[in-house]
Amino acid sequence: MTEQASSPTADIVIYHNPACGTSRNTLALLRDKGLEPQVVEYVKAGWTREQLEALTQKMGVTARDILRERGTKAVELGLTDPSTSDEAIIAAMIMDPILVNRPIVSTPKGAALCRPAELVLGLL
């Protein structure tokens, strides 16, 4: 007899933007696997420095690696300039949450920017 988790999967978090097709597909993929993650609509909820620093550390990336350029003011703000520090990028992400690329999923196995959506499977 195999045992499946019957409790809510609070240890799985998706930083989600419902306006994003990849984010919706990633959430659907998790649900298709029988998982109900904690859904954080980060555009509404916003970010803290601590959240972003913890996520990038868990992901093993820099803030620049999760910076969303398309459809944002990243270029106008100078955030794509190689001399811009991670600290400045994080400060901008806190001021304008849409600057964080999505979806990011965090599980006990790690965290990743799930573009494409199937990357989430490696975290399960």
- Is 45:21 a contact under the CB 8 Å cutoff? no
* E runs forming strands in 1-124: 9-16, 37-41, 104-107, 110-113
Active site residues: 20
- The pair of structure tokens assigned to 30 is 């998790």
Strands 37-41 and 9-16 come out as parallel
